Amino acid sequence: MKAARVTVADPSLQPVADVVAALAHPHPPLTTGLHLTLGDVTRAPMAAGVPISGGDECFRITTTPTATVCQARTHQGLFRAALHTSLYGPPKTETVEDGPRYAWRGLMLDTARHFWTVPELRRIIDLAAIHRLNVLHLHLTDNEGWRIQIPGLPRLTAGTPHYSTADYTELQRYAAQRHVVIVPEIDLPGHSAAALRAHPDLAVLPAPTGWNDQLPIPVALDPRDPGTRDFVSHVLTELCRLTDGPYVHFGADEAFGMDHTLYDQAVTLARAVIRAAGKEPLGWQESARAGLDPGDVAQWWVDPEMTDPSTELTALGLTGDLIATITDFFAPAADDLARIVAAGGRVLLSPQSHLYLDRPYAPAIVPEAQRERAAGLGFIYKPRTVRDIAGWDPGAYGLADENVAGVEAALWSETLRGFDDLTTMLLPRLATIARTAWTGRPVPWSEQRRHLAADGRLWEERGLTFLRSTEIDWT
Ligand code: TNX
């Protein structure tokens, strides 16, 4: 298919036009022509949250008889306007001004439990851009694997699929052209079994009382040990050096049974190293229990649905002390949101009830032929329909704009066998979340269904497998 012609008012805009044309390439042209020009946009909706990919994303689109004119103050604004118009057609009114409600609109992918190749990640970056997301958060290490080359520590990645520093650099470049920022995550001090396998000399804490082989052993690095501190400093410093974006994620989730003082020490160390290397540190919500400075970001995932998992854990056949350890761990999560706000921190909204895309789809909406792919992770998570996810309201938590970093969907990979499983879990849900993050509120379902049908045509044209939910008329 030949894309619509994109012309530019000055040569500096040619790279924007080229990337838009490349992204639109598999799709039939919906405009006679697009013209890109820098300029002021009168209405400038201020996006709440942390500006991550170059700030101003607002634009104006004006339709004339010969072309659709996109105007914005930045390349990013032009990219948003031109790509959206190429993919979905010009707006129905003569002039439209638009911009995002949330500045950080992300997707987290788990590359540790299942390794996604560089070409697969490129397709995901394209998909993110199409849905106006601007962050790809890569969960790069976990118990099951270490996926990023760290100069000076070759054992971490020896003999396992991983991203070389050259892969990572190239991926950031590819993403940046599409106005997507990579936020890398090294998960510490828990979730560290892969580090320990490569470096058995690292000091780790004993497993909590009652832990047994019903769940993976929760390896936590001991922040008191000088060699282990050196390891953490080295890894995070090198990662910061490789990273173009402003944020580096240090994990800090699920340090089950870890003593509070030691947990504080581990988080304090990670933050200090990342800051010293010139980046902003960011952790999962648990990290807020080690204190936060005003403006610090914490990623909130344990929403009220999950704060007492004892019934589900019992149903799984877990017993006594183990249930107590896990339940004790989740109990303080109920106060984390208030804790982040009280410290003047900023919440990156990833509530598992709606934004975790490894959650199973409600069986009633899954066509028979897709049952297996759509199974997801049944553990603790209650299944939901696409309509439920589309109804999620980021404004429902009573947070002031200064306490919001943005919105991020997350996909863990424990149950995924390949790329078709990945996209089946993402789509269509990711598109509804991305729309909510852009507009700031749930789009009415009748409207959302129409948008999803249009999205479905794009996914088909790009050869992406998606859940053909029975809630939507895909024809
Ligand atoms: C909890 S969510 C985790 C992940 C798992 C996920 C699903 C979070 C910050 N940590 O390590 O993949 O549950 O099992």
Q: The domain that contains 31 carries what CATH number? A: 3.30.379.10
Ligand 1 midpoint to CA 472 (Å): 30
Report pLDDT for 319.
79
CB distance 301 to ligand 1 below 6 Å: yes
Task: Note whether 195 and 84 are same-domain residues.
Answer: no
Same domain for 123 and 181, yes or no, is yes
Q: Residue 162 region, left (φ>0) first, then alpha (ψ -120 to 50), else beta?
A: beta
Name the least confident of 229-233, 239-243, 301-305, 438-442.
301-305
Q: Is the peptide bond before 226 cis (omega within 30 degrees of 0)?
A: no
Please check whether residue 121 lies inside any domain of the structure. yes
Question: Does residue 253's CB lie within 6 angstroms of at least one atom of ligand 1?
Answer: yes
- Predicted pLDDT of residue 324: 85
39 and 54 fall within a common domain: yes
- 384 and 312 within one domain: yes
Specify the residue with its C-alpha closest to ligand 1, atom 12: 412
Quick one: 27 and 154 in the same domain? Answer: no
pTM score, two decimals? 0.97
Question: What's the CA-to-centroid distance between 412 and ligand 1, angstroms?
Answer: 7
Same domain, 27 and 120: no
Phi and psi at 138, nearest 5°, equal -105, 115
For residues 424 and 459, the answer to whether their CB atoms sit within 8 Å is: no
Q: How far is the CA of 350 from the centre of ligand 1 (A)?
A: 12
Q: Which residue has the tokens 């497993």?
A: 207
pLDDT at 276 > cutoff 70: yes
Question: Which residue CA neighbors atom 4 of ligand 1 most closely?
Answer: 412
Mean pLDDT estimate for the chain: 93
Do 348 and 200 lie in a common domain? yes
DSSP lists the bridge partners of residue 204 as: 221
Is-cis flag, bond preceding 428, omega within 30?
A: yes
Residue 457 tokens, joined: 């045509």
pLDDT band with cut points at 50, 70 and 90 for residue 378: low
pLDDT classification of 114: cutoffs 50, 70, 90 = very high
**Higher per-residue confidence, 358 vs 210:** 358
Q: Is the CB of 215 under 6 A from ligand 1?
A: no
Lowest mean per-residue pLDDT among 184-193, 289-298, 309-318: 309-318
- Amino acid residing at 99: G
Furthest CA-CA distance within the chain: 72
CB distance 330 to ligand 1 below 6 Å = no
Number of domains in the chain: 2
Q: Give the domain CATH number at 446.
A: 3.20.20.80
Statement: residue 213 has pLDDT above 80: no
**Which among 50, 66, 98 is the end of a domain?**
98
Instruction: Provide, rounded to the nearest whole percent, the portion of the chain with pLDDT above 70.
Output: 98
> Residues 131-175: pLDDT tens digits?
999 999 999 999 999 999 999 999 999 999 999 999 999 999 999
Q: Whose CA is nearest to atom 9 of ligand 1?
A: 253
Based on the domain organization, do 109 and 200 belong to the same domain?
yes
Same domain, 197 and 52: no
Domain annotation covers residue 1: no
ipTM score of complex: 0.93
Instruction: Give the end of a domain, one of 30, 63, 98.
Output: 98
Final residue of a domain: which of 74, 98, 122? 98
Report yes or no on 111 lying in a domain. yes
| pLDDT score for 275 | 98
374-379 long-range contacts (CB < 8 A, ≥24 apart) are: 374/424, 374/425, 374/467, 375/415, 376/415, 376/425, 377/412, 377/414, 377/415, 379/312, 379/316
Classify residue 475: in a domain, yes or no: no
Atom of ligand 1 nearest to the CA of 412: 12
User: Is residue 269 one of the residues assigned to a domain?
Assistant: yes
Flag whether 217 is in a domain.
yes
Which residues belong to the active site? 254
Please indicate, yes or no, if residue 117 is contained in any of the structural domains.
yes
381 touches ligand 1 (CB under 6 Å)? no
pLDDT exceeds 80 at position 2: no
Output the CA 301–ligand 1 centroid distance in Å: 9
Which residues are bridge partners to 137 per DSSP?
Answer: 108, 183
> How much distance in Å is there from the Cα of 140 to the middle of ligand 1?
13
The parent domain of residue 317 ranges over 104-461
pLDDT-derived band at 1 (thresholds 50, 70, 90) equals very low
Residue 71 sits in the same domain as residue 142: no
Query: Are 81 and 216 found together in one domain?
Result: no
Task: Report the distance separating Cα 346 and Cα 403, nearest Å.
Answer: 4
Do residues 208 and 313 share a domain?
yes
Residue 466 lies in a domain: no
Mean pLDDT across 25-48:
85
